[in-house]
Structures are given as structure tokens and as C-alpha cells.
Structure 1
């Protein structure tokens, strides 16, 4: 009976851990409900690294939590006043103290190595093929493509446009409410892109989860990060810094296209200037 009760405690603990871990299951096209509990599908090496690090730390956390819960259940059951006839008086044990100090330290070292590697990759600066400036304003985004200030020998302001949220009456079938915009940010795939952010009035934050990008846009200051998009698609984000009454009306719609399609889009924009 005693062993049965202990086995029952272990089974309940394992079931609870399994349910929690299922909430972090990988993305699945056939299970949209459970996809909401996880990350968006990554589209950049940085986001892939973030998800891999999260999964590794989650696995370590489950192991530690399961071991601790097992020890708690075993101690409560075997050393309770009703089940133990022998009084154990243990003041210290050198070996156990060394183990419970060394093992957590080693686990932290294992976590630290990939964490620092990913952290330094966030600040890695590579010669960019393209520079984009995103300016947050109340309550829309302005984009500047400064690499095209000289076109056909003429000095221009480059490609600049504003991006506003689409109103409900303007939405077309397939477009997302409060996420789609009138002018998308168009970028090429498989190119190193430098993203600059600034604020035109108050503090904003440029965030696109699928790319692993979240960069504050502060008035009077330029922040930068590198972006590398691995696949084509439309990726959505939002302003992630409370910036006023219409903070939730500042979506970001980024369209990643093939290089030739991007060149065609740039030529069309330059002709419109």
C-alpha cells in the first residue's frame, strides 16, 4: 500500500508536467489552437536560435522540477509523523552539500554558454546590403530607404512613405484586422539588412516576433539591429511600447520577397517620387 501511494504521487506529478509541456508543443498547421501557446514560426536565424534556447532551458527546467517534486513527495510520505517510527536526526552531510551546490552551478554553466552566444549574436554587425529607417509616430510608422537618395544622377529624398492601419471598411478578403496596413515594408530575402529606429514624438517599439526583432524607437536617438530573412512571406508585428490612446493601432506588416521582385518594387517607387 505504501509503494502504491508513492507511485500514485509520482504518476500525478508526471501527468501535470506533461500537460504543461504540451502547451509548448512545436507549431503545427493542423492544430491552430495549440499553436497559440508557442512562438510564431521563425523566419530568421536569430529567432530560430531564440526558440532553440527556450526549448533547451524548458527541458532542463522540467527535469529539475520533476526531480524536486519527486523528492518532496518521497520525503513527505516516508518521513511523516504517521508513517515513520524512527526519528532521524541528521544535522549535515558533506557529500550531499557538495552535490547540491555543484550540480546547480554546472546546470547554470550549461545554460550560460548558448545564452551568451546568442546574446553576442544580437549585437553582431555585418556589412549590410540595405539600410531601413523606421520612425514611430502617433499612431503610424514612417519608413525611409536611404540607400536610394541618388537616382539617375539626381539627388532625391530616397523612398519614404507612411504605413497606417487599414480601417475595417477597407479590408479585403484574407487581410487581417488591426494587423494589415496600407503600405507594407518590403524587404528582400537572404540579405543582411540594417534596421534603424527612432521616434517622432514619444517612445515606440518596433517588434516583429517571427524575425526575433524588438527595438525601441526613441525620439532624438537612433537604435540599430541587423535583420536576415530566410524565407518569403508576410510577417506581422506591433508597437510594443505604450504610446498613447491608439497604441493598439500601430501594426507592422513586413513583406519579404525575392531579390528581383524587390528590385522591381524599388524601381516602381522611384518612378513615383
Structure 2
């Protein structure tokens, strides 16, 4: 009876742990004592997860095999069990095996690796573009396909956090994108090298001054997803997070209309600048 009670308590504890972690994984952010990768929400991240799982199986098998060989050698060929060692110096079968088998393993690893690299680096036909500029220590975002409005995104300070906002990850403005849409991301920097990284998207790309790098993603479900700069860019490197909000295409269109008014487009700003000042009243 006691054994069954302990077993039930253990199962309940595991359910409690994974039940507690699941909502945070779904929110696209790290959690205390989290195990494994964040839930993938893009085609690239799914490929990353599959490649990770394959490598984990391969390295586990290799580790167990080497451990078994070491144990066998220690037991079979120690001085007590084998006082007269053999003087055999070559074994053709073994030499062929330990040359051919690693080559086969490398080929098994190389095929999905090259496929993943190809998918990550080749941007499909994009439906919209976002330009990202890394600065010390915040991000600038521009939507050139939607009038060219732009805004800056800063980390929310700890004393200003609202309920539900994660510490060191929440930002005052979100990068809003529509789901099921191929988004091209062009990256550069205005000062030093930064890196725009979103774990749930499988995206990490350097933003280099004077250079325009490119990556892409296609979010499959709505939600908030968090990332950070992943390049050591100075004293406040750990304080320039990224918040991406994925919404439906209808909500995105509504957000764009509001964003054009809130942030202004280059054309609107140019027209405003050309309006002559009113004559002073006499």
C-alpha cells in the first residue's frame, strides 16, 4: 500500500511539474527548471527539433557503446584476468570497421544538417518584410511594405512590469506579425554587432554595422514569443529583449492602420514638415 502511495505521489508530482511548465512553453519563453527546447512554432524550428533529436539518439548510442567497450576492456584485459597479454598489433576487420562506421555516421548527420542549413538560409517568396536595426541597447523596427512606419522597442524596467510580463524579456512595443505568413527579416546595426534571436522561431542572425543580413520565419499560431540579443554587445547586452506578437491577418491589418497613425509614415512626416507655419496673430 505504501509503495502504491509513493508511486502515485511521484506520478502526481511529474504531472504537476509538466502541467506547470506547459503554459510557459506555449507562451514562447524560458521557464525555471525548464527541460528541453522551447515549443517550435515555425517550419524551421521543427527541422531544428528533428535534427536535435537525431543527434541526441546518435550521441547517446555512441556514448553507451564506448562505455561498454571501456568496461569490457577493464574486466577482460586487466593484469589479473589476463597475465599474458597478446602481441597482436593489427586486425584488418576492426580497422576497416572503425573507419567505415564513423563515415556512415557522418553521412547520416550531414544529410539533414545540409537540408536544415539550406532551409534556414534560403528565404522563400516573402509576403512582407521587416527591417531590424540593433542599437545600444534597444531595437529599431521598420515596416517598409506597410508605409514605412518605424518604432523603437525598449525593455520594460522591473518596477514597471505589468502582471504576466516576464522580467528581462518584456518590451514596451511589440513586433506584430500575421500568422501563416512568410516574413522576411533584414538586419543591420547602428553601432556594434548584435544578434536577433527568437528560440521559438529557430532564428538567430547577426546584425552587423554596414551590412544587411537576412533571415525569415513563418509563425504557425498566435501568441507572444520572446527572444534576446545573443551577441555580447556591451554593458547592457542582457537588457535588449525582443517581443514578437503573432496575430491573425485581420488583426494585423487593424494594427497596421493604428500603427501608421501612432508612429507616422515617412510620407506623412514629410507632408507635415511641408505645411507652412500659421501667421502670428496681430
What TM-score does the superposition give when structure 1 sets the normalisation length?
Answer: 0.83
Match of 2:241 among 251, 255, 258: 251
Deviations 1:153-184 (A, max 9, x none): xxxxx221110111122211111111111100
Match of 1:81 among 64, 79, 82: 79
Equivalent position SS for 1:267: helix
Partner of 1:48: 46
Deviations 1:123-176 (A, max 9, x none): 222211110001111111110000123xxxxxxxx2211101111222111111
Q: Do the aligned residues in 2 keep the contact of 1:238 with 1:251 (CA within 8 Å)?
A: yes
Partner of 2:116: 118
Match of 1:99 among 91, 94, 97: 97
Matches of 2:108 and 2:217, distance apart in 1: 27
Partner of 2:152: 162
- Superposition RMSD on alpha carbons, in Å? 1.7
Matches of 1:36 and 1:133, distance apart in 2: 32
Match of 2:209 among 219, 222, 226: 219
Matches of 1:168 and 1:63, distance apart in 2: 45
Match of 1:207 among 193, 197, 202: 197
Matches of 2:170 and 2:178, distance apart in 1: 19
Q: Do the aligned residues in 1 keep the contact of 2:21 with 2:34 (CA within 8 Å)?
A: no
Q: Quick one: structure 1 residues 181 and 30, their matched pair in 2 at CA, closer, same or farther if it must change by over 3 Å?
A: closer
Q: Do the aligned residues in 1 keep the contact of 2:42 with 2:202 (CA within 8 Å)?
A: yes
Partner of 1:3: none
Q: Do the aligned residues in 1 keep the contact of 2:229 with 2:238 (CA within 8 Å)?
A: yes
Q: Do the aligned residues in 2 keep the contact of 1:28 with 1:35 (CA within 8 Å)?
A: no
Equivalent position SS for 1:41: coil
| Aligned counterparts, 1:1-273, within 5 A | 28-30=18-20, 36-149=34-147, 158-272=148-262, 273=264
Deviation for aligned residue 1:30: 4.3
Partner of 1:14: none
Q: Do the aligned residues in 2 keep the contact of 1:181 with 1:251 (CA within 8 Å)?
A: yes
Deviation for aligned residue 1:34: 8.3
Matches of 2:35 and 2:169, distance apart in 1: 19
Matches of 1:56 and 1:98, distance apart in 2: 25
What TM-score does the superposition give when structure 2 sets the normalisation length?
Answer: 0.81
Consecutive unaligned residues in structure 1, runs of 5 or more: 1-26, 150-157
Deviations 1:181-235 (A, max 9, x none): 1100000110111001110111111111110111111111111111111111111
Matches of 1:170 and 1:76, distance apart in 2: 61
Consecutive unaligned residues in structure 2, runs of 5 or more: 1-16, 23-30, 265-282
Deviations 1:20-69 (A, max 9, x none): xxxxxxx9444577862321111111111111101101101111111111
Q: Quick one: structure 1 residues 31 and 260, their matched pair in 2 at CA, closer, same or farther if it must change by over 3 Å?
A: closer
